[in-house]
Chains A and B, each alone.
Chain A
Amino acid sequence: MDARFIPEPVHLIRFAPELLLTVFATLIMVLDPLTKEGEKHRLGILALVGLLAAAWGAAVAAANPGTAFSDMLLVDGFATFFRYLSILVGVLTLACSFAYLKREQADSGEYYALLLFSIAGQCVMVSANELIMIFIGLEISSIASYVLAGYLRDDKRNNESALKYFLLGSFATAFLLYGIAWIYGITGSTNLAEIQRVLSNRDIAPSVNLIGASAALMFVGFAFKVSAAPFQVWAPDVYQGAPAPVSAFLSAGPKAAAFAIFLRVYITAFEPIADQWQAVLWASALATMIVGNFAALLQSNIKRLLAYSSIAHAGYVLVAVTTHSQIGTAAAMFYLAAYAFMNVGAFAVVTHFARQGERYVNIEDLAGLGQRQPVTAALLSIFLLSFIGVPLTAGFFGKFYIFKAALDANLVWLTVLGLLNSAVAAYYYLRIIVVMYFHEPSESVADLQSPAPGIQAVLWASAAATLILGVFPSWVLDFAGKAALK
Chain B
Amino acid sequence: MPSSVPLSWYLILSAILFGLGVAGFVVRRNIITVFMSIELMLNAVNLSFIAFSYQLRQVDGHIFSFFVMVVAAAEAAVGLAIILTVFKNRATLAIDDVSSLKN
- Chain A interface residues (CB < 8 Å from chain B): 132, 135-136, 139, 143, 146-147, 150, 153-154, 156-157, 159-164, 166-167, 170-171, 174, 177-178, 180-182, 184-185, 188, 190, 236-237, 240-241, 298, 304
Chain B: CB-nearest residue to A184: B52
Q: What residues of chain B lie closer than 8 Å to A146, measured between beta carbons? A: 78-79, 82
Is the beta-carbon distance between A139 and B75 smaller than 8 angstroms? yes
Known: A136-B71, A182-B48, A190-B60. A163 touches B101 (CB 8 A): no
- Beyond the given A174-B42, A185-B11, please list 18 additional residue pairs across the A-B interface where CB-CB is below 8 A: A135-B67, A139-B71, A156-B100, A159-B82, A159-B89, A159-B98, A160-B86, A160-B100, A160-B101, A162-B86, A163-B82, A164-B98, A166-B79, A167-B25, A167-B38, A170-B38, A171-B38, A184-B52
4 nearest CB pairs, A to B: A185-B52, A174-B41, A181-B48, A237-B101
Is B85 an interface residue, CB under 8 A from the partner? yes
Is the beta-carbon distance between B90 and A240 smaller than 8 angstroms? no
Contacting residue for A188 out of B38, B41, B56, CB 8 A: B56
Is the beta-carbon distance between A166 and B82 smaller than 8 angstroms? yes
Q: What is the minimal beta-carbon distance from B98 to any residue of chain A, in angstroms?
A: 5
- Chain B interface residues (CB < 8 Å from chain A): 11, 18, 21-22, 25, 31, 34-35, 38, 41-42, 44-45, 48-49, 51-52, 55-56, 58, 60-61, 64, 67-68, 71, 74-75, 78-79, 81-83, 85-86, 88-90, 98-103
Q: What residues of chain A lie closer than 8 Å to B48, measured between beta carbons? A: 178, 181-182, 185
Is the beta-carbon distance between A150 and B82 smaller than 8 angstroms? yes
In terms of DSSP, what is the predominant structure of the interface of chain A? helix
Known: A174-B41, A237-B102. A147 touches B78 (CB 8 A): yes
Q: What residues of chain B lie closer than 8 Å to A174, measured between beta carbons? A: 18, 21, 38, 41-42, 45
Is the beta-carbon distance between A178 and B82 smaller than 8 angstroms? no
Is the beta-carbon distance between A132 and B82 smaller than 8 angstroms? no
15 residue pairs A–B, Cβ–Cβ below 8 Å: A135-B67, A143-B78, A146-B82, A147-B78, A153-B88, A159-B82, A159-B90, A163-B98, A167-B34, A174-B18, A182-B48, A184-B60, A185-B51, A237-B101, A241-B101
Is the beta-carbon distance between B52 and A143 smaller than 8 angstroms? no
Q: What residues of chain B lie closer than 8 Å to A163, measured between beta carbons? A: 31, 82-83, 86, 98
Q: What is the minimal beta-carbon distance from B32 to any residue of chain A, in angstroms?
A: 11
Known: A159-B90, A185-B55. A166 touches B71 (CB 8 A): no
Is the beta-carbon distance between B64 and A190 smaller than 8 angstroms? yes
Q: What is the minimal beta-carbon distance from B75 to any residue of chain A, in angstroms?
A: 6
Chain B: CB-nearest residue to A236: B101
CA distance A174 to B62 in the complex (A): 17
CA distance A139 to B86 in the complex (A): 22
Q: What residues of chain B lie closer than 8 Å to A298, measured between beta carbons? A: 103
CA distance A161 to B78 in the complex (A): 14
CA distance A188 to B61 in the complex (A): 9
Chain A: CB-nearest residue to B71: A139
Chain B: CB-nearest residue to A295: B103
Contacting residue for B82 out of A162, A240, A241, A304, CB 8 A: A162
Is the beta-carbon distance between A156 and B90 smaller than 8 angstroms? yes
Q: What is the minimal beta-carbon distance from A324 to any residue of chain B, in angstroms?
A: 28
Q: What is the minimal beta-carbon distance from B51 to any residue of chain A, in angstroms?
A: 8
Is the beta-carbon distance between A184 and B49 smaller than 8 angstroms? yes
CA distance A298 to B103 in the complex (A): 9
Q: What residues of chain B lie closer than 8 Å to A143, measured between beta carbons? A: 74-75, 78
CA distance A234 to B47 in the complex (A): 29
Is the beta-carbon distance between B74 and A139 smaller than 8 angstroms? yes
Q: What residues of chain A lie closer than 8 Å to B74, measured between beta carbons? A: 139, 143
CA distance A74 to B85 in the complex (A): 39
CA distance A139 to B88 in the complex (A): 26
Q: What residues of chain B lie closer than 8 Å to A154, measured between beta carbons? A: 89
Is the beta-carbon distance between A178 and B56 smaller than 8 angstroms? no
CA distance A166 to B81 in the complex (A): 11
Is the beta-carbon distance between B42 and A177 smaller than 8 angstroms? yes
Chain A: CB-nearest residue to B49: A181
Q: What residues of chain A lie closer than 8 Å to B42, measured between beta carbons? A: 174, 177
Residue of A159, A160, A237 with most chain B CB atoms under a 10 A cut-off? A159
